[in-house]
Amino acid sequence: MNSQAKQEDLIPEEYLQISSNIVSTFGNRTPVTLCIYDEEFQRVAPLFPKDTRLTPKKLDRMNQECNGGNLFITKDEYSSLAGHISQNLGVLLTEHYLDEPAAAEIFYEGILEKVREFYANPVAETLEQLKTVLAIFSEYVWVDRNRWSHFFNSLQRKNDLCCHVVNTLFVGTAIYLKTVHKEGEKLELNSLGLALVLHDLGMTQIPATLMTKASPFLYKEKQRMQEHVDIAEKMMNRMDVKDQLVRDCILDHHERIDGSGYPRGRRGDALSIETRVCSVADAFCGMIAERWHKKGIHPILAAIILTESSKRYDKTLTAALVSFIISNNPEMQALIKDKEKMKQLRALALKQMN
């Protein structure tokens, strides 16, 4: 048995090995408690507690242990590390120890932070920072379908505009890759990613009293909400965003295949595949989230409802959405087969939608 294999057998499950990739993001202090496997006592023991200042001597020791494959953190501390790495998403491109579900959560946090900064202050500088994290995200996801099939479990269903657009990014990217990705082929995803996170930028200019209204919208209020599409277009003009794919998704994400959408009633082939992806992902993420005036719908049911609306939503894309939700999710796989439970969920959803 080689020493690496021996060590893996000896490390209790609650520990996670970390690489020099992650360690290189630490700066002057340890963001979590670092542990090593102590051969003499045959147990994992703390090396440096959280927030230890990394003097040159300590830095040497840490790197030495790390290079020998003997640096660990407890999984309990994982969320602190996730928050830390989310500031340095680039390391995930070459990181091998973190598994896909963990990386999906880190990406969620890192992108959410940049989206919040941009939505709060939509200027060229924050847009560039957002584009940088999206480029890292695009680079990460196209390589291997295992990477993005875990995105579903990291979605956040709270009533929050920025969470909604990051959800839309994750869901839309997964649908797009599931339908157009060919193994080994590199896809250019930067524009699509930007379109998915910018699609509701106009909502930032809708009065808060309307956004937080606790009862269903009146006709005039609905019209006011719908203005977010044209507002976003003006904001794109002001920031000189010329990418046609981004502009199309922003303008058309509420359009529907049968022409029943808004603001222009565009239909059929006039709507690009990216726009259709954006509208399916957006509708789904809107349905599953808690809102001020309604509860979120169960995700698998929301996806099925969309598959039943084939006049309005592209059925290849809605089918891809269902398979994205159930992949890597035994609970959803069981639920979709449970006819009685699905019936109950549907009755509940109908009540919520009315």
What minimum distance in Å lies between the beta carbon of 93 and Fe ion?
Answer: 28
Q: Which is nearer to Fe ion, 18 or 305 (CB)?
A: 305
Q: Rounded to the nearest whole angstrom, what is the least distance from the CB of residue 161 to Fe ion in the complex?
A: 8
For the four alpha carbons of 30, 35, 36 and 39, in that order, the dihedral sign comes to: positive
Query: Alpha carbon of 81 to those of 30, 76, 97, 149, 276: distances in Å?
Result: 10, 10, 13, 22, 36
Stretch that binds Fe ion, among 37-45, 86-94, 215-223, 275-283 (CB under 5 A): 275-283
> At closest approach, how far in Å is the CB of 228 from Fe ion?
6
Residues in contact with Fe ion, counted by CB under 5 A, come to a total of 2
Nearer to Fe ion, 65 or 282 (CB): 282
In this structure, the number of other CB atoms found within 10 A of the CB of residue 64 comes to 12
Locus of tokens 């030495």: 64
Separation of first and last alpha carbons in the chain: 64
Binding characters for Fe ion, 154-193, by CB under 5 A (x = yes):
----------------------------------------
Residue number with CB closer to Fe ion (95 or 200): 200
Q: Which residues pair with 53 in a beta bridge?
A: 29
Minimum CB separation from Fe ion for residue 67, in Å?
A: 46
If the CB atoms of residues 21 and 275 are measured against Fe ion, the closer one turns out to be 275
The one segment of 52-60, 134-142, 212-220, 279-287 that binds Fe ion by CB under 5 A: 279-287
Nearest CB to Fe ion, comparing residues 200 and 274: 200
For residue 54, the one-letter residue type is L
Q: Which residues ranging from 53 to 92 are in contact with Fe ion (CB under 5 A)?
A: none
- The region of 79-87, 155-163, 208-216, 274-282 touching Fe ion under the rule CB under 5 A is 274-282
Which CB sits closer to Fe ion, 200 or 314?
200
**Mask: binding to Fe ion, 315-344, rule CB under 5 A, as x and -?**
------------------------------
252 binds Fe ion (CB under 5 A): no
Cβ closer to Fe ion: 104 or 197?
197
In the complex, minimum distance from the CB of residue 165 to Fe ion, in angstroms, rounded to a whole number:
7
C-alpha span between 43 and 274 (Å, rounded): 52
Inter-residue contact 109 to 86 (CB < 8 Å) = yes
Q: Which is closer to Fe ion, CB of 38 or CB of 230?
A: 230
What residues between 195 and 224 interact with Fe ion by CB under 5 A?
A: 200
Piece of 145-153, 178-186, 277-285, 346-354 that binds Fe ion (CB under 5 A) = 277-285
Least distance in angstroms from the C-beta of 24 to Fe ion: 37
Question: Which of 297, 254, 259 shows the shortest CA–CA distance to 276?
Answer: 254
What is the Cα–Cα distance from 62 to 55, expressed in whole angstroms? 10
As measured in angstroms, the least distance from the Cβ of 173 to Fe ion is: 15
Among 65, 100, 282, 314, binds Fe ion (CB under 5 A): 282
Whole-number minimum distance, CB 223 to Fe ion, in Å? 14
> Cβ of residue 200: shortest distance to Fe ion, in angstroms?
4
Which residues lie near Fe ion (CB under 5 A)? 200, 282
